[in-house]
Structure 1
Amino acid sequence: MAVPEVLDRIPLLSGVPRSVEELPGGLTNHNYKVTTPSGEYVVRVSASDGALLAIDRDAEHANSAAAAAAGVGAPVLDYLPELGVLVVGFLPGRTFTEEDLRDPANLPRVAAACRRLHAGPRFVCDFDMFDVQRRYLEIVLERGFRLPEGYLEFMPQVAQIQKCLEIRAEGTVPCNNDLLPGNIIDDGERLWLIDYEYSGNNDACFELGNIWSESDLPTGHLEELVTAYFGHRLRNKIARARLLGLMSKYGWTLWASIQDGANDSIDFDFWSWGMEKYERAVAEFTSSGLAGLMDEAVRAD
């Protein structure tokens, strides 16, 4: 369906003067900023098979509303599941870049935004990268999608990491789970977190480790982010976030494999994107420091 037809199906945007601007980014959606006399809105139109990627659009809608209630997400204004459309308010501000996350002055601000989200209403679903990675692997193998060379060789280490992290598990909180720089908006005073496709209740340290992993930040930045989040330096939490950041790279590699094999509606080199993550994961899996990280994660600080 053409974009004007989609907009005509949205009561808020139908029958009024409007201008439409396609927003950059979005690897599973097409995003449009729509301006009318009454305000500015973002219309997100699904552009991939959400089921393959473990995306539940109903959960995304509910969790987006919960994030808005927590004061950290955009207001949710409409949802048309039959069209794969979610309408939220436009948040004026500047989209973060990796350079913003490399600025240590921004790390306490990111931590504060995460704390607001994590202290908000529980989400309607859970997210566990160990489970997601296994589901992705089943899809890749069943459908014959490309699998990076040597990928399966690291599954024993994955099992060890999962068992290690279960020892000091402290429950879950509502997490975005996909805080790429482009999903952080700076309005000049505070940060907002957007895009809840992969949201779910999760270990807070996954959120922090995923931020570190997605932007390939220095290890010291992760230590500062975790310290700002918890209020003081905790070696076991830093190690936990590093291990979950490793699982982030390993799991999202298969997300890229699925997108590479199944998504022809978005012009993007998913395979190269995933291989960059995989190569960094391999470096950590084969590092002499992995055993030490697991030891740190299970110790009382």
Structure 2
Amino acid sequence: MLNTLLFMLILFAIDFIFAITHSLQYVYSGSSGIPNLPEFMTVGLVDGEPFTYYDSNIRREVPRQEWVTKAVDPDYWDQQTQISMRTEPTFRTNIEVAKQRFNQTGGIHTVQRMYGCEWDDETGATGGYDLDGYDGSDFTALDFKTMTYVAPVQQAFISAQKWNNDRALLERFKAYQTQICIEWLKKYVSYGKSTLERTVRPEVSLLQKDPSSPVTCHATGFFPKGIVVTWQKDGEDMHSDVEVGETLPNGDGTFQITSKLMVKPEDWKMNSYSCVVQHKSLQDDIAVLLEEKNIRTNQGGISWDIIIGWVSSALRFAKSI
């Protein structure tokens, strides 16, 4: 289940390090009470790469990758614009309905919807998902084995029951996920091959806010998404005192990930600790030895705050909750 659906695009693909798994994802995001942010946004992603975008300010579906213009008909953008424009009012209504169910009035609130499909071009295996979130927490999810929606919170039971009783909706989405989505994914992968199959090396840094804080290994700027970041002590992988974060998108189409080492300074100064990164772009693993000279801190006014890239994306089927 997803815990931070708005920001985690994640959520969105299988993270085996070198798996040949492609994904097509859409997420709609509606919000209220957030200054300078469009109330409604959509983004489509192929293999985690944004390729189409719409928001309630520009009111136009636009390409985010050059290759997608070759993969679609000229009227595609008008069609997608109309779909997104028709979806806007649904999300505004969904926020108000959710606020009533949670006994809320003003404040900042978000409703998200994410769906998509995955395809392994080696085995031919496919999969999919359909997820809804409210204020960054799980709201509903579709179980594709039983083709029924499940609700992790009481406030979502009404919505799950409503959709489960709509057999036409379920059959339409099943057909989309198992046929249409896969067909479009294969088409997009074919046209975007040079972009989607490129490799970009990660940049790896060791970061620490102050001498008593955990040491963070930060790998960023890499593509594709699959990566393994581990901590080693005296050459052996560590399975405790380590906290690995989600793999998150940067704004330029690459990805980033962090892994925290939670040991006392006197410990790592007396032993040999290293952050080891494995990625498809690397002939040899990157290993950064944990030494004071290799650590970037904010001492002396140097700021190393990690800006988490996020993408808010969109879906082609709107549902009233």
TM-score of the pair, normalised by structure 1: 0.27
Larger Rg: 2
TM-score of the pair, normalised by structure 2: 0.25
Q: Which structure has the highest strand share of the two?
A: 2
Q: 1 or 2 for the larger relative contact order (CA 8 Å, sep ≥6)? A: 2
Q: Which structure has the highest helix share of the two?
A: 1
